[in-house]
């Protein structure tokens, strides 16, 4: 069997193309429904925008920042994967950041819930959990709520590079146990590209 060179792997880990579509705060601003959608949810600073950028291979597509609460709108990106039909990735505003103004925190729930409950083309919600912090109440509540709404969800650990190698597996197993998952969550890093192939596999499996 011919051995695949590393460059062949890295090409497969990226999208063929990815472009910004629009941003919105309410249903009136959502783009027309079309391609199947994958939403990225999680607390502020967990690495949603960075993971989208790494997954598609366009470094500054979604705005990533050290300032928690950077993504305050729902942002749509049209993505052409290496194979199969176009999909949309939706970068959701982060929750759980105490220092944003109260009005913004109060606005989060209706804004995100209206998207999650009304979007017919939504196929799956990736719930991102910081590998070092583990699951907190908000992530567990979001998962429970998605299950009640019959919306498929996939738990993804982020920033695995910040966790020592010996701590990674135990951290994944702890999340599996706490959330009662059938298997451990996907471990990812926007720094090392860990887990990207697994994420693409999930996207293609759902399409």
Q: Which residues bind Mg ion (CB under 5 A)?
A: 48-49, 70-71
Output the CA torsion 189→191→192→193 (10° steps): 60
Q: Which does 41 bind (CB under 5 to 8 A by kind): ligand GTP, Mg ion, none?
A: none
Q: Give the one residue of 13, 30, 70, 134 binding ligand GTP; rule: CB under 6 A.
A: 70
Q: Which is nearer to Mg ion, 126 or 168 (CB)?
A: 126
Q: What is the DSSP string of 151-179?
A: --EEEEEE-GGGS-HHHHHHHHHHHHHHH
**Pair 58, 18: CB distance under 8 Å:** yes
Q: Which is nearer to ligand GTP, 32 or 101 (CB)?
A: 101
CA 90 from centre of chain: 8
Q: Which is nearer to Mg ion, 14 or 48 (CB)?
A: 48
Among 66, 206, 67, 69, smallest CA distance to 126 is for: 206
Q: Does 26 bind ligand GTP (CB under 6 A)?
A: no
Instruction: Give the span between the Cα atoms of 19 and 56, in whole angstroms.
Output: 10
Task: Provide the mask over 171-190, with x wherever binding to ligand GTP is found by CB under 6 A and - wherever it is not.
Answer: ------------------xx
Q: Which is nearer to ligand GTP, 162 or 204 (CB)?
A: 162
Q: Which does 144 bind (CB under 5 to 8 A by kind): ligand GTP, Mg ion, none?
A: none
């Amino acid at each position: 069997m011919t051995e695949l060179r590393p460059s062949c792997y890295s090409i497969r880990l990226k999208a063929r193309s990815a472009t910004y579509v629009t941003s919105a705060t309410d249903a009136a601003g959502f783009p027309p429904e079309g391609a199947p959608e994958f939403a990225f949810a999680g607390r502020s600073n967990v690495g949603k925008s960075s993971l989208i950028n790494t997954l598609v291979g366009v470094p500054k597509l979604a705005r990533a920042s050290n300032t928690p609460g950077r993504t305050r709108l729902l942002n749509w990106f049209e993505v052409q994967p290496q194979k199969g039909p176009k999909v949309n990735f939706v970068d959701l505003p982060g929750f759980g950041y105490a220092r944003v103004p109260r009005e913004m925190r109060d606005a989060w729930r209706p804004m995100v819930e209206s998207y999650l409950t009304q979007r017919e083309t939504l196929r799956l919600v990736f719930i991102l959990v910081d590998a070092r912090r583990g699951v907190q109440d908000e992530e567990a509540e979001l998962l429970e709520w998605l299950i009640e709404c019959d919306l498929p969800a996939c738990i993804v650990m982020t920033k695995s590079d910040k966790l020592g190698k010996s701590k990674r597996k135990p951290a994944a197993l702890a999340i599996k146990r706490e959330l009662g998952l059938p298997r451990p969550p996907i471990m990812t890093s926007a720094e090392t590209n860990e887990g990207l192939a697994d994420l693409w596999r999930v996207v293609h499996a759902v399409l």
